[in-house]
Chain A
């Protein structure tokens, strides 16, 4: 082999290796960006779900299951953070994605629960108010009749 051919071959080899390194690095950077964004999205989903859950709780909804689901999301998020710190960006993104899904699910369930509890509260308020009004009317009527009867009794 001629020296010029040998030099060309080495040059080609170096170029190929450099290209592969650049591609691998950019892939790593891309994976890291995806994982970073995934963790951020999952954190936001958990906070949004928490806000709606609190709103549901404040109007009297039972949110025990939702709190438990939120803790599962937090556990997955913690696992994602550990994977991220260890440089396992693909794994981190996968865990963050699962955490986000649970956060979104809790958000949706909490919204439904909030709406249904609100409706139940309205129905109960209506029934209680109606009961009170009827009760007051009955007391007023009964007392008027009783008073008249007593007065009539006095006159006779």
Chain B
């Protein structure tokens, strides 16, 4: 006949399991396991129909072009973002991803916004070239309008004639920066998108 002492160890194990189950909610409040999901931000540029096509390329003077910029927050908490809009020619510095360095070009326009975790922020970006000149093999953009704000480029942004592609090319750069609570300043988030513009017909 089976006696209670024969399954004593099983009994103790069962009781301990039940105690562990009862203690689990309390343990969970104080022990936080590190999250296995990666935290990151997304930056993207969409065309005028809010999809990845029909991006402006051949730019004419005084004509307004529209694209959309969006940022997705997958950081696990609300973030304070900044997007800097810059203009560069083919030889000027672009951001370097390998060492998280932003472009050294000055910002022409900036967006500041807050995005909750899991949210995607989106905004329109309209731009036009208001004043540009061409002299010999050099093009210069002196004034632009970005989101209805007139921006004077001082000094003017210049590009030389690209023989291979037969045109004057500039890149509209959008860099993503994020407010760092530790350093109490915005820091480049190592995300950027660029839109190449052929301004040959804008003179």
Contact = CB atoms under 8 A, between A and B. Distances in A.
B15 A143 contact: yes
Contacts of A54: 77-78, 181
A136 B19 contact: yes
B22 A154 contact: no
Nearest to B117: A57
B26 interface: yes
Contact of A74 (B5, B18, B26, B113): B113
B3 interface: yes
A143 B11 CA distance: 8
Given A53-B78, A147-B11, 4 more contacts: A50-B179, A54-B181, A82-B149, A143-B11
B116 A147 contact: no
Contacts of A77: 112
Size category of the A interface is 20 to 34
A153 B4 contact: yes
Contacts of A154: 3-5
Contacts of B26: 128-129, 132
B114 A50 contact: yes
Contacts of B166: none
A78 B116 CA distance: 20
B31 interface: no
B77 A135 contact: no
Contacts of B78: 50, 53-54, 57, 63, 67
Please name the 7 residue pairs, one residue from A and one from B, whose CB atoms are nearest each other, closest first.
A135-B22, A150-B4, A132-B26, A143-B15, A70-B114, A154-B3, A139-B18
Nearest to B119: A67
11 contacts: A47-B184, A50-B80, A58-B77, A64-B116, A67-B115, A78-B112, A82-B149, A147-B11, A151-B5, A154-B3, A154-B5
Given A85-B149, A128-B29, A136-B23, A74 B3 contact: no
B155 interface: no
Interface string B170-193: 000000000101001000000000
Contacts of A30: none
Interface residues of B, number: 26
A67 B19 CA distance: 42
A132 B116 contact: no
B25 interface: yes
A74 B25 CA distance: 41
B66 to A, nearest CB: 18
A132 B22 contact: yes
A6 to B, nearest CB: 45
Interface string B94-130: 0000000000000000011111100000000000000
Nearest to B4: A150
